[in-house]
């Protein structure tokens, strides 16, 4: 046995030296200033936190919540009755108002030494952010949980760092929203933009107009009590909630109960298949009476200063085909439908102003007749943001932050509100750009998979909006996002774990190991390509979202890692045998996976469509392995073989069941490298 | 490409034929009569269920809950407003009372054809059970979700099928209890035995004696409102809730606030480290006045007929060392402490009777002076259950169902209330055996890992108490339990998913693949071996339960499967090359795993203790592989080698960090087989 042990020892030592785990600060968003010290503060059962400075109930709650979360992350049950010097002091100079404002100071300083930690901030908001930083710093070490000694000075780059959640296309229950608010708090986002109405459903209870949800929600809506509960939950976490009631377009759900608001006769339903569509009729005085009462009620329910009226994508055909509306335009000397929408928005803006609200709307609301205090949210790009700023309007960027487009994180991360046309603004104009919002449009999400569509990618967008503009290193971003992703799951999000649940459903009781191998290397098609399939017709919002495309992560870690491996291998002139061994391991796994997976794919109606995908992966594995063989021999492969392989690769590039194999390009690189080499022997 | 495809095709076909997935009825507990028909009932978006017969609110709730759960399992969003003929008709002849009774009829019939399904039952309880059976029958097929055509007639073998949950040693929050009630409903258990007080904490709010929780719970207790909410939740699911307030032993937490109840002077605390222990003083009249008020209050809060007074493990030293108590015994001509406890129980029983409650207690309460309507719960075995029945007392078996002992499911499953001494009872005496209860004692559980200590093993105990006595096939049990385990996770339990969360904590942000390989083949030490370590002293109930022993499943699936593989290989005379290949795959994985895992183990204070475990697994892998080599050659291995390997195996059998490597025995079998073979060449 001694011999064996000695032998094994050699293996261990060699691995150790190459894979030693380095402590690093896995913070996201990255603070504006981080100065690492020496030593670390242990987090053990005697940990406690205390609040000093101005007393503030919301900060007290925040510290309690923080302690609970630290306990969840470390698994250590801190005692409520801890005595002695507190480990962490949290100090805020001032308290908080009942309604959070846009321009509040969110800065904080965090100092950690081997013997204690202190967060100081001018406001409870800053202190709450500091607590999140502390939480992210807590890491496991060989001697216990600890926070490394550090001095951090931090404040946000933009005051408006939001996420839009569409709850109309698919209803998202309160508990799911709450866990996403927890996630937003963790990454220091401070606005939840609640897209509460759209064609497919009106989700906020109105007591004055009960038919809005009574007829326009299929019974899936939030009561006012639930809304107040959510608002308090968000407020506790330093998050403002902006309601959006989209009008005059995207508003079929209003017309189900109140067809008189529409520009053409109904009847209307919230189902795509039946019922006409329409837009609001801006020519009837009754419309404005309705909106006045509605804004009064909702303005009280939602205390935030800002109120989003949508205003996007108004289909002109409903106005153009109504002779009364055309006559109105003529009588008021309006030339275009844009003029008519501007008229509507002006009237709406006056109603909002009467109820002390500031209007926010999408690009299309921008019109010189509107007052300068409105805010324009750009889904079109920095160009329209810059145009608004040049006219003196405040703006928010959402272009580039659409989570539903299934982009890789790096692409969101590269989108900066101040880039492109906005880069050329004057300093004064730049100040008008308040920040941005990621957007989770809900055509393809359910309560089950929405977390994975948002997280962890949203953390990188949060960093873009919080951290200094020069924080742009993509590798660092991925490393830190990976760590934060686990933190977010520990806090209760399900963006990683839901996939297994969904795969298990597809597999019945069968083993899902081979299914995971396939799921790991695919991504859903990008942009609107899932949607734009003419053959399929309009989206059925009642269809189950239970296919592989609904379960997989928007971005494949394995594919990114494999591409990096092949890149490194290329840089070694295809000589590094360790890298080759790793690449060979992946390719072999993929080549052999289809045989294991096939019976399962054939047994499940949810998986049958993925058979060609699994087959393509197997062929890619084979192609890559053969390319490695040729590379190893230093022989170019035969021309016929190369032609065959490139045909295989071309086939593997085509989406199957809405899914893309993300390892196609690196395999192609191997095949081409092998073909390109000259005879060496 | 065509060539490649053809080649891959061959692989697929060969795998397909051997691994074709067979539909089977994954029901647990197995119904008393199942007759399979032909065809299947599709479950699609038009599914709906309706209730006929006597109107009953709890059944209406049950059908709604069932529909929600069927939606979770299938991922299909059924429409609330489904029209047309309902797919499933649920019929109950009678309604339910506000308080569920012990001997209610729980039978049901379920008929499923290709065009519809019907559940008929005399009571809503039976109908609720039928719904759970239907839920388990829903399975994925190549054409969609479906329930196979079947006729089931079913009723429970025992009327009392319970689970005890100890919430004293570690407090378990209401939401965790609720998801476990969901699990109990799924496997047709009908009693939650709520162990609400013990030395370490008193968990139920008393308004009359507020110091019980005020001083005896460290702030961790259920308010009466929360208790009522839980009772309603349980009642909806056909589950009775029996409170247990353990007395006169196991009751230190009572004495923290009310030291006058104790047999020796305090002060008392709920912490093991400080504070004296004690048992209740049965000689003071004030004790009975206290208990009378207490039982009155709790008897109203908990409406069930039965009331559990504990009565187990009374340490006599507290009575023996109190001269007043000794004098009392003498004055009343009591010879033993058992007589004194019987006196206490008699007085307590009269109090219970006055408040219309039937007493339940552990083995030790059995005494001829007590009336025959009490119920004895046996933690000692069928022997004491039989003894009670022979004296005319009703009984419950818990011996053999202690989930905290970390037994394999098969061992619980083999324990029958009617076996052993109970098998020889007369038919009349047998009727006195009401059923049994699994017991989840909470020394080693937290809200995070309690599910995995209970499930899925508890499903097999539920089957033992529901299904006919001759349902004993262990392989069938494991197959069905495996399927039900996934159903239980889909319903919200976390018995599988929590492990990854905990492993991820131990690993920081690092990859846990290699850690899973180790976790898959270990089990915690059995019985009280974790506890009985004298060196460690008494359990610290405030210590984090975050080590590998806390995260792993009580039973290793991988080890069971590997042992089966080796068994089959042995049966083939060690000739079957396919089996050998599979065994070799496992052994190679284990041999190579330590090298991958070691850096991680060294980086985490929670994993460092597992280094020898991982090392032992690697050595077992090597030993097994070498044994296979010798077996392949048909050569006996050298004597020295064998001696070395058996030493390795002996070492691997020793627990490390409280964990046992469960693949040691089959590896030993391979080594010994190899040594035992005669030279064949």
CB contact under 8 A, B486 and A504: yes
What does residue A629 show for φ and ψ, rounded to 5 degrees? -60, -45
E strand or H helix that includes residue B328: helix B323-331
Confidence at A315, pLDDT banded by 50, 70, 90: very high
Q: Is residue B19 pLDDT above 60, yes or no? A: no
**CA nearest A626 in B: which residue?**
B4
Residue B292 has pLDDT above 50, yes or no: yes
Residues of B within 8 A of A667 (CB-CB) are none
> What pLDDT was estimated at residue B266?
86
Residues of B in contact with A73 (CB under 8 A): 505
Confidence of residue B9 (pLDDT cuts 50, 70, 90): very low
B-chain residue closest to A640, CA distance? B1
Query: What whole-number distance in Å separates Cα of residue B663 and Cα of residue B256?
Result: 47
Cβ-defined contact of B45 to A20 (cutoff 8 Å): no
Min Cα separation A11/chain B (Å): 6
Report CB contact under 8 Å: B8, A497: no
Rounded distance between C-alpha atoms, residue A677 and residue A655, angstroms: 31
Q: CA of B496 to nearest chain A CA: how many angstroms apart?
A: 10
**Chain A closest CA to B211's CA: distance in Å?**
17
Shortest CA distance from B449: residue in chain A: A75
Q: What residues of A are in contact with residue B141 (Cβ under 8 Å)?
A: 603-605
Q: Using an 8 Å CB-CB cutoff, list chain A residues near B500.
A: 497
- Name every chain A residue with its beta carbon within 8 A of the beta carbon of B26: 509
Whether residue A14 has pLDDT greater than 60: no
List the single residue in B with minimal CA-CA distance to A513.
Answer: B513
Question: Which residue in A4, A218, A606 is closest to B648 by CB distance?
Answer: A4
Percent of chain B whose pLDDT exceeds 70 = 94
In whole angstroms, what is the distance from residue A314 CA to residue B376 CA? 74
The predicted structure's pLDDT at residue B638: 86
Rounded to the nearest angstrom, the minimum Cα separation between B231 and chain A is 23
Structure tokens at B291: 């208990």
Query: How many angstroms separate the CA of residue A12 from the nearest CA in chain B?
Result: 5
Report the residue of chain B nearest A551, measured CA to CA.
Answer: B75
User: Higher pLDDT residue, B634 or B96?
Assistant: B96
Burial call B31-45: b when 16+ CB within 10 Å, e when fewer: bbeeeeeeebbbbee
| Structure confidence at residue B628 as a pLDDT band (50, 70, 90) | very high
Is the pLDDT at A423 greater than 50? The verdict is yes
**Of the candidates B77, B543, B644, which has its C-beta nearest A542's C-beta?**
B77
pLDDT tens sequence across B392-419: 999 999 999 999 999 999 999 999 999 9
What was the pLDDT predicted at A531?
82
The pLDDT of A461-471, averaged and rounded, is 98
Which two three-digit tokens encode residue B410? 């098969």
Full DSSP string of A506-563? HHTTS--HHHHHHHHTEEEPPTTTTT--GGG-S--TTS---SHHHHS-SS-HHHHHHH
Shortest distance between the Cα of B302 and any Cα of chain A, in A, equals: 30
B541 to chain A: which residues are within 8 Å by CB? none
Torsion-angle region of residue B122: left (phi > 0), alpha (psi -120 to 50) or beta? alpha
Contacts of A331 (CB under 8 A, 6+ apart): none
Q: Which of A76, A510, A603 lies closest to B544 in CB terms?
A: A76
For A156-200, the pLDDT digits (tens) are 999 999 999 999 999 999 999 999 999 999 999 999 999 999 999
CB atoms within 10 A of CB A643: 12
In chain B, which residue's Cα lies nearest the Cα of A542?
Answer: B77
By Cβ distance, the residue of A11, A596, A604 closest to B142 is A604
Q: Could A504 and B489 be called an inter-chain contact, meaning their C-beta atoms sit closer than 8 Å?
A: yes
Determine whether the interchain pair A490/B504 forms a contact, defined as Cβ–Cβ distance below 8 Å: yes
Interchain contact, A544 vs B75, CB within 8 Å = yes
pLDDT tens column, B524-544? 999 999 987 666 678 889 999
Q: Chain centroid to CA A372: how far?
A: 30
A8 → closest Cβ in B12, B448, B618:
B618
**A140, A480, A608: which to substitute to probe chain B, counting the most B Cβ within 10 Å?**
A140
CB pairs under 8 A between A and B: 188
- Spell out which residues of chain A touch residue B501, defining contact as CB-CB under 8 Å: 489-490, 497
How far apart CA B19 and CA B17 sit, in angstroms, is 6
H helices of B508-638, where? 513-520, 548-551, 557-571, 577-603, 611-633
Are B74 and A544 inside 8 Å of each other by CB? yes
Q: Does A681 have pLDDT greater than 70?
A: no
Query: Beta strands A191-198 and A201-202: pairing type?
Result: antiparallel
CB contact under 8 A, A219 and B80: yes
The ipTM is: 0.91
Assess whether pLDDT exceeds 90 at residue B241.
Answer: yes
pLDDT value for A156: 98
**Closest-approach residue (CA) in chain A for B13:** A595
Residues of A in contact with B600 (CB under 8 A): 21
Contacts of A622 in chain B (CB under 8 A): 4, 8
Residues of B in contact with A79 (CB under 8 A): 218, 542
**The predicted structure's pLDDT at residue A9:** 37
Chain A positions touching B448 (Cβ under 8 A) are: 75
Of A448, A489, A543, the CB nearest to B501: A489
Mean pLDDT over B631-646 rounds to 88
A193 in Cβ contact with A165 (< 8 Å): yes
B334-391, pLDDT tens digit by residue? 999 999 999 999 999 999 999 999 999 999 999 988 999 999 999 999 899 999 999 9
Q: What is the pLDDT of residue A81?
A: 59
* Contact between chains at B508 and A139 (C-beta distance less than 8 A): yes
**Measured torsion, CA atoms of residues B194, B199, B205, B207, in degrees rounded to the nearest 10:** 130
> What is the per-residue pLDDT across A248-290, written as a single tens digit (0 to 9) for each?
999 999 999 999 999 999 899 998 766 678 999 999 999 999 9
Enclosing H/E stretch for B34: strand B33-43
Which is nearest to B89 in space by CA: B108, B68, B107, B75?
B108
Above 70 in pLDDT, residue B2? Answer: no
Q: From CA A234, how far away is CA A241, in angstroms rounded? A: 7
Measure in Å the smallest separation between the Cα of A304 and chain B Cα atoms. Answer: 33
| Selected catalytic residue, list A260, A273, A313, A608 | A313
Q: Report the range of poorest mean pLDDT among A61-65, A81-85, A652-656, B568-572.
A: A81-85
Active site residue A313: yes
Per-residue pLDDT at A547 exceeds 90? yes
Contact A74 B546 (CB under 8 A): yes
The arithmetic mean of pLDDT across residues B437-441, rounded, is 98
Look at the alpha carbons of A384, A386, A389, A390 in this order and tell me if their dihedral is positive or negative.
Answer: negative
Q: What percent of chain B has pLDDT over 90?
A: 89
Nearest CA in chain A to B77: A544
Q: Give the C-alpha separation, A20 to A91, whole Å.
A: 38
Q: Share the mean pLDDT of chain B.
A: 93
Is A142 in Cβ contact with B605 (below 8 Å)?
Answer: yes
Question: What's CA B146's distance to the chain center, in Å?
Answer: 29
Q: What is the mean pLDDT of chain A?
A: 93
Distance from CA of B546 to the nearest CA of A (A): 6
Mean pLDDT of A95-103: 95
Residues in chain B: 681
Across the interface, whether the CB atoms of B12 and A595 are under 8 A apart is answered: yes
pLDDT beyond 60 at B657: yes
B347 exposure class (CB count in 10 Å sphere: 0-12, 13-18, 19+)? middle
> Can you list the positions of beta strands (E) in A288-432?
306-308, 358-362, 375-378, 394-397
| pLDDT, average across residues B158-176 | 98
| Chain-chain contact of A644 with B500 (C-beta, under 8 angstroms) | no
**Does A12 contact B510 at a Cβ distance shorter than 8 Å?**
no
pLDDT recorded at residue A24: 67
Chain B: nearest CA to A618, how far in angstroms? Answer: 8
Dihedral angle at the C-alpha atoms of A133, A136, A137, A138, nearest 10 degrees?
A: 130
What pLDDT is stored for residue B8 in this prediction? Answer: 37
In this predicted structure, which of A18-22, B127-131, B423-427 has the lowest mean pLDDT? Answer: A18-22
The one catalytic residue in B260, B313, B330, B608 is B313
Q: Do B75 and A20 touch (CB under 8 A)?
A: no
């Amino acid at each position: 046995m001694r011999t064996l042990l000695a032998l094994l020892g050699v293996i261990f030592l060699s691995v150790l030296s190459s894979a030693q785990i380095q402590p690093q600060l896995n913070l996201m968003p990255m603070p504006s200033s981080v100065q690492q010290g020496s030593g670390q503060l242990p987090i053990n059962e005697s940990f406690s936190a205390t609040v000093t400075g101005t007393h503030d109930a919301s900060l007290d709650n925040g510290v309690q919540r923080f302690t609970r979360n630290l306990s969840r992350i470390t698994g250590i049950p801190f005692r409520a009755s801890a005595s002695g010097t507190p480990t962490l002091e949290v100090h805020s100079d001032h308290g908080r108002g009942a309604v959070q404002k846009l321009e509040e100071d969110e800065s904080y300083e965090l100092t950690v030494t081997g013997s204690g930690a202190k967060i100081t901030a001018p406001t409870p908001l800053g202190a709450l952010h500091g607590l999140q930083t502390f939480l992210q710093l807590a890491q496991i070490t060989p001697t216990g949980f600890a926070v490394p000694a550090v001095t951090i000075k931090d404040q946000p780059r933009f005051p408006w760092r939001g996420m839009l959640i569409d709850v109309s296309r698919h209803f998202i229950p309160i508990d799911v929203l709450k866990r996403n608010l927890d996630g937003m708090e963790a990454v220091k986002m401070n606005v939840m933009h609640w897209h509460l109405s759209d064609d497919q459903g009106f989700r906020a209870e109105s007591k004055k107009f009960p038919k809005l949800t009574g007829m326009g929600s299929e019974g899936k809506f939030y009561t006012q009590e639930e809304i107040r509960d959510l608002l308090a939950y968000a407020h506790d976490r330093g998050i403002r909630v902006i309601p959006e009631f989209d009008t005059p377009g995207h508003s079929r759900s209003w017309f189900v109960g109140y067809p008189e608001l529409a520009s053409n006769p109904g009847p209307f339903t919230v189902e795509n298949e039946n019922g006409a569509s329409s837009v609001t009729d801006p020519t009837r005085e009754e419309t404005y009476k309705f909106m006045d009462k509605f804004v009064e009620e909702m303005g009280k329910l939602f205390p935030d200063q800002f109120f989003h009226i949508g205003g996007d994508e108004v289909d002109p055909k409903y106005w153009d085909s109504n002779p009364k509306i055309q006559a109105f335009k003529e009588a008021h000397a309006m030339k275009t439908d844009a003029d008519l929408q501007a008229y509507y928005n002006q009237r709406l803006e006056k109603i909002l102003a009467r109820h002390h609200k500031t209007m926010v709307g999408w690009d299309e609301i921008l019109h010189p007749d509107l007052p300068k205090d409105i805010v324009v949210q750009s889904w079109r790009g920095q160009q329209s943001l810059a145009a608004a700023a040049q006219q003196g309007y405040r703006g928010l960027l959402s272009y580039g932050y659409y989570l539903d487009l299934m982009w890789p994180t790096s692409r969101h991360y590269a989108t900066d509100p101040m880039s492109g046309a906005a880069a050329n603004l004057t300093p004064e104009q730049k100040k008008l750009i308040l920040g941005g919002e990621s957007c989770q449009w809900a055509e393809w999400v359910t309560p089950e998979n929405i977390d994975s569509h948002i997280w962890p990618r949203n953390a990188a967008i949060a960093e873009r909006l919080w951290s200094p503009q020069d924080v742009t290193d993509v590798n660092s971003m991925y490393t830190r996002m990976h760590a934060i992703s686990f933190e977010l799951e520990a806090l209760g999000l399900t963006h990683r774990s839901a996939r297994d649940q969904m795969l298990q459903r597809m597999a019945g009781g069968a083993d899902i190991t081979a299914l995971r191998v396939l799921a790991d290397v695919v991504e859903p098609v990008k942009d609107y390509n899932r949607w734009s399939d003419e053959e399929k017709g309009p989206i059925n919002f009642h269809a189950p979202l239970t296919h592989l495309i609904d379960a997989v992560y928007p971005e494949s870690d394995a594919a990114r890692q494999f591409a990096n491996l092949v890149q490194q291998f290329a840089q070694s002139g295809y000589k590094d045998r360790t890298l080759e061994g790793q690449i060979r391991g992946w390719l072999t796994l993929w080549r052999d996976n289809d045989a294991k997976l096939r019976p399962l794919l054939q047994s499940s109606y949810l998986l049958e469509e993925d058979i060609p995908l699994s087959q393509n992966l197997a062929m890619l594995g084979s192609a890559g392995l053969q390319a490695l063989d040729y590379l190893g021999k230093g022989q170019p492969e035969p021309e016929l073989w190369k032609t065959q392989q490139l045909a295989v690769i071309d086939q593997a590039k085509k989406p199957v069941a809405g899914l893309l194999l993300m390892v196609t390009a690196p395999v192609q690189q191997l095949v081409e490298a092998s073909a390109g080499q000259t005879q060496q022997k």
